[in-house]
Amino acid sequence: MAKKKSKKNWIKGHLKDPYVKLANKEKLKSRASFKLKQINEKYKVIKSGDAVIDLGAAPGGWSQIAKGILKDTGLIIALDLLPVTGVPGIKFILGDIYADEVMAQVDDLLRESGRDKVELVMSDMAPNLSGIAASDAARANDLNMRALFYAEKYLAKKASFVVKLFQNEYFKDYSNEVKKLFSSCSIYKPDASRQKSSEIYLVAKNKK
């Protein structure tokens, strides 16, 4: 009974959320779209003509914002275990970001576009929560390390990396790893992030 009540309260609060209402009004995939929009307004990580890799892209909110900025220029490669539909103009790969065949598809798409590097790797990934704090934190960090692997492999010199972190025991060590690869690292919590959430975004620029 308590779980049902909690879920009911969450749904009620979710529907009242101003960013949920705004996302519906603007026909955006999710309220998370506004997080990237606010990050880009502050840090200018997406510019006309850029190539972008969007990790954990479903349902497509971040790719949708990036496509709106790039318009008919550049390239967006979106990856997820779940399908992304209704975002025309992106290249979507359905699969596991840990799989060699998925990275091979990324390589193929870059070659087809005449590129071997991108200007932005972005990740709004988070694990499905088990409710066990230590396990959830470890799994989130594992996803973030994989995102950093993509950044190291695919980013051009002076390119950017945006990743969602959680304020847990891995936060400091992970931030230090990112700082080794980038000249500039900033921590930012968009207004669109729920205040109760421990999520925060690391915005790294100028890959060394």
Q: Is 205 an active-site residue?
A: no
| Greatest extent of the chain over all pairs of C-alpha atoms, in Å | 57
How many residues are given for the chain?
208
Active-site position among 29, 91, 164, 207: 164
Q: What tokens appear for 64 in the block?
A: 């949708």
d(CA 75, CA 67): 8
Structure tokens at 107: 């390589």
Q: Which residues contact 79 (CB under 8 A, 6 or more apart)?
A: 53, 54, 55, 56, 57, 92, 93, 95, 97, 102, 106
Instruction: Kindly calculate the radius of gyration of the chain based on its CA atoms and give it in whole angstroms.
Output: 17
Helices assigned H by DSSP within the chain: 2-16, 18-25, 33-43, 61-70, 100-112, 133-154, 171-181
> Quick check: 52 and 119 in contact, CB under 8 A?
yes
Residues 6+ apart with CB under 8 A from 39: 45, 162, 188, 190, 201, 203
Q: Active-site residue numbers?
A: 164
